[in-house]
C-alpha cells in the first residue's frame, strides 16, 4: 500500500498541523506493508527526516498555476491513497483547496483530515466535500456542527474520529532533576507554565490575572515578537514593575526541552477564551505530564476537578476563579500518563486506509 500524506506545513515550520503530520508519519513508517511519502512545501531539516519516508518537496507553492508541477510530483510516487491535512499555515494558494479534485482525477483515493470545524478550516470548501472518499476528524463534535449541505453530501462517506496524541514527549524526572530545573528558572517560587503558539485565541493576557507574582513564577514557553501586535501587548505587560523578574519567556524550544520544563513545573495553564478540548495536543502533553493543569471549557459537564487526569476545568469566561483554583491545587502531581500514543493514532489510520482500498 502506497500512501501520500499532503500538508502545507511540516517541521521546522511552527504549525500545529505540521507537527501532527510529522508524528503521524513517524509512527506510520514503523508499520509493515506501507510505503509512505509526504508532499509538503517545507523541506524538513535533518532532525525531521524519517527513515524510509520519501519527501516530495513542493518548492513551487500552492498557486493554481503550479497545478501540473504538483501533478508531476504526485505521479512520480503514484500512491494508492492521498491523505490531505487541513488547514495549515503553509497552504498559501488556492490550489490547496483543489488538491482532492486533482487526486480524484488522477484515480487516487482521497482521505482528508479536518483539524478544525468546517468554517475554521479556511482552505476547505465544496471541492473538498465533493472529492472526499473518507473523512478523519480530531474534534468529536465536528459532524454535528457541519453545514446541512455538507452533512447531506457526506452522509454515505466513511468518517472516523481519531483523537490527537501529544506532540511533546514528557520525561520521567526524579526530585533532583525537578529541583535543578526549578532553581534555574523560578528559584524558590512555584513554577507556572503556559506553552504553545502565542496567538490571540490563547488568552495569554489572562495569565497575568491568574498567576500571583509574589509566590509564583510564570514561564511562557513560546515565541514573543514585538512586530506582532498581540505579542507586543504581552511583552508590554511583562515589562510592568509588578512582573519584572517574575516572568521567563523561553522562546521556541525543541520538544524535548519543553517536555523537561513541563515535567518540572508546579502547574500548567491554558486560559483559552474559546475553551480547550481533546483536540489540543498541548493539553494532551500537559495531561501526560501528570502536573496539575487548569484549562477552560465551554462544556458545562466538564466543569470542576478531574482527579484521575489532575485537570481542573473552569468556564471559559470565568477567569477570576482560576486564581483561586491555582492557589488551591498548585503542586499536585500524579503519575505520567502514556495510555494513548501515536501508535494508537497510526493504527487507526492504517485500518482506515485498508478499509478504503478494500471497498474500492
Per-residue pLDDT, 101: 95
pLDDT digits (tens, 9 = 90+) for 99-150: 999 999 999 999 999 998 887 777 788 998 999 999 999 999 899 999 999 9
pLDDT digits (tens, 9 = 90+) for 13-45: 888 899 999 999 999 998 888 899 999 998 888
CA distance 156 to 209: 48
CA distance 263 to 258: 9
pLDDT digits (tens, 9 = 90+) for 163-190: 988 888 898 889 999 999 999 999 889 9
- Asked if the model's pLDDT at residue 47 lies above 90, the reply is no
β-sheet bridge partners, residue 296: 314
CA distance 18 to 197: 13
- Asked if the model's pLDDT at residue 333 lies above 70, the reply is yes
pLDDT digits (tens, 9 = 90+) for 189-226: 999 999 988 888 899 999 999 999 999 999 999 999 99
CA distance 38 to 9: 11
Share of the chain above pLDDT 90, in %: 69
Q: What is the mean pLDDT of residues 294-308?
A: 92
CA distance 84 to 10: 13
The CATH fold of domain 175-329: Rossmann fold (3.40.50)
CATH number assigned to the domain covering 2-165+341-359: 3.40.50.2000
Beta strand pairing call for 190-195 and 267-270: parallel
Who contacts 320 (Cβ-Cβ below 8 Å, separation ≥6)? 209
Per-residue pLDDT, 360: 59
Task: List the chain domain ranges.
Answer: 2-165+341-359, 175-329
Per-residue pLDDT band for 328 (boundaries 50, 70, 90) equals very high
Per-residue pLDDT, 45: 86
Who contacts 170 (Cβ-Cβ below 8 Å, separation ≥6)? 259, 262, 263, 285, 288, 289, 336
Asked if the domains at 2-165+341-359 and 175-329 fall in one CATH topology, the answer is yes
274 or 217, higher pLDDT:
217
CA distance 345 to 68: 33
Could you tell me the three cell numbers for 338? 502514556
Per-residue pLDDT, 304: 94
User: Of 145-159, 214-228, 289-303, 329-343, which range is least confident?
Assistant: 329-343
Side-chain half-sphere exposure of 351, counting CA atoms within 13 A: 11
Share of the chain above pLDDT 70, in %: 100
CA distance 22 to 63: 24
Per-residue pLDDT, 277: 81
Contact criterion met (CB below 8 Å) for 192 and 269: yes
Q: What is the mean pLDDT of residues 280-298?
A: 92
Who contacts 162 (Cβ-Cβ below 8 Å, separation ≥6)? 113, 136, 137, 138, 345, 348, 349
Residue for cell digits 491554558? 270
Average confidence score pLDDT of the chain? 91
Per-residue pLDDT, 339: 76
β-sheet bridge partners, residue 333: 291
Amino acid at each position: 500500500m502506497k500512501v501520500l500524506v499532503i500538508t502545507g506545513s511540516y517541521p521546522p515550520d511552527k504549525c500545529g498541523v505540521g507537527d501532527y503530520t510529522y508524528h503521524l508519519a513517524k509512527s506510520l513508517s514503523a508499520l509493515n506493508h506501507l510505503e509512505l511519502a509526504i508532499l509538503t512545501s517545507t523541506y524538513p531539516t535533518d532532525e525531521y527526516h524519517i527513515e524510509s519516508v520519501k519527501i516530495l518537496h513542493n518548492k513551487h507553492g500552492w498557486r493554481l498555476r503550479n497545478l501540473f508541477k504538483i501533478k508531476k510530483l504526485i505521479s512520480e510516487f503514484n500512491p494508492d491513497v492521498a491523505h490531505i491535512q487541513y488547514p495549515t499555515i503553509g497552504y498559501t494558494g488556492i490550489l490547496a483547496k483543489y488538491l482532492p479534485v486533482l487526486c480524484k482525477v488522477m484515480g487516487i483515493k482521497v482521505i482528508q483530515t479536518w483539524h478544525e470545524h468546517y468554517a475554521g478550516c479556511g482552505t476547505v470548501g465544496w471541492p473538498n466535500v465533493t472529492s472526499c472518499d473518507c473523512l478523519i476528524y480530531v474534534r468529536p463534535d465536528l459532524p454535528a456542527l457541519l453545514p446541512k449541505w455538507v452533512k447531506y453530501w457526506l452522509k454515505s462517506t466513511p468518517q472516523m474520529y481519531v483523537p490527537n496524541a501529544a506532540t511533546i514527549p514528557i520525561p520521567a524526572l526524579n526530585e533532583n532533576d525537578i529541583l535543578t530545573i526549578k532553581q534555574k528558572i523560578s528559584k524558590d517560587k512555584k513554577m507556572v507554565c503556559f506553552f504553545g503558539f502565542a496567538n490571540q485565541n490563547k488568552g495569554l493576557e489572562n495569565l497575568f490575572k491568574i498567576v500571583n507574582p509574589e509566590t509564583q513564577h510564570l514561564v511562557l514557553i513560546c515565541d514573543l515578537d514585538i512586530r506582532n501586535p498581540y505579542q507586543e501587548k504581552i511583552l508590554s505587560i511583562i515589562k510592568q514593575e509588578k512582573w519584572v523578574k517574575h516572568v521567563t519567556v523561553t522562546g521556541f524550544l525543541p520538544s524535548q526541552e519543553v517536555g523537561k520544563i513541563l515535567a518540572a513545573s508546579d502547574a500548567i495553564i491554558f486560559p483559552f477564551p474559546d475553551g480547550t478540548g481533546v483536540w489540543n495536543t498541548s493539553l494532551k502533553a500537559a495531561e501526560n505530564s501528570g502536573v496539575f493543569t487548569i484549562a477552560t471549557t465551554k462544556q458545562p459537564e466538564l466543569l470542576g476537578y478531574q482527579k484521575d487526569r489532575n485537570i481542573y476545568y473552569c468556564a471559559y469566561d470565568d477567569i477570576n476563579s482560576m486564581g483561586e483554583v491555582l492557589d488551591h491545587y498548585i503542586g499536585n502531581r500524579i503519575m505520567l500518563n502514556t495510555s494513548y500514543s501515536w501508535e494508537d493514532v497510526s493504527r487507526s489510520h492504517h485500518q482506515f486506509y485498508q478499509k478504503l482500498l478494500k471497498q474500492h
